[in-house]
Amino acid sequence: MTRILVTGSTDGLGRATAAALLDQGHRVIVHARSADRAAAVSSLTDRGADLVIADLTDRRAVRDVADELNGGAEVDAVIHNAGVISGSGILPVNVVSPYLLTALLRTPTRHVYLSSGMHRGGSTDLTELDWDGSRTTASYSDSKLFVTALSAAVARRWAPRVAADSVDPGWVPTKMGGAGAPDDFDLGHETQERLATEPRLDVTGGYWYHGERRTPHPAVDDTSFQERLLAALADATGVELPAR
């Protein structure tokens, strides 16, 4: 069995991912933004899932969760699912929190990052960004380009010991995607489950859509852009991505 953290697991794809992993016999850590939101995963914790609570816009809370998990049973994989589509939390939730969890958690050997086809419309301009989230200085597309490049950077720096991949779940009918979204909801979460758990799946550095590798925005695999992004995140957070 694999022990897997799924961030943003109170609804939508995150909740479906966590439930499916439990069905498959894995040990799951679900995440809620607040104690009030934790009620939404009570049926999962009743089935044995562990729970962590953290507002991912708060870096201290993200650090505390990392400390909590580092002090317990090993976490084998992380599915960085949590995300927001608008507002000042775009960079803190969609980019900074997965960066910090990646840098601070000591044991995972697989990281899966939720991307989006909208990452292709993102900007590579890293200047004048408010990583703290006190102002809205980036679009959803920007954030998904950044986190997809982060995934590629982690794969490059930490291979072969740690695998990292990003997944476009498609435009699926969730609270974020809307009830009329045309893509298949189950296909929207199956790829990240496979990447996090399949023991013989020897892949890393991919950008995936519904079980198939796709070609991302050219900046994703641009080492210079990756390094500039990592430097910006290290400067903003005071935490550098460690060597592995």
Catalogue the active-site residues.
Answer: 140, 144
b/e per residue 22-36 (b: at least 16 CB within 10 A): beeebbbbbbbbeee
Task: Quote the CA–CA distance of 19 and 178 in Å, as a whole number.
Answer: 21
C-alpha torsion angle, residues 32, 40, 110, 239 (rounded to 10): -10
Residue 49 and residue 31 in contact, taking contact as beta carbons nearer than 8 Å: no
Candidates 166, 242, 239, 244; CA nearest to 203 is 166
| CA end-to-end span of the chain | 24
- The helix or strand, by DSSP H or E, that contains position 176, with its residue range, turns out to be none
Calculate ∠ Cα 185-89-37, nearest 5°. 60
| CA dist., res. 202 & res. 199, Å (int) | 8
Structure tokens at 227: 């390094």
Q: What span, in angstroms and rounded, lies between the C-alpha atoms of 147 and 236?
A: 15
- Outline where 81-186 has alpha helix (H): 90-91, 97-104, 140-158
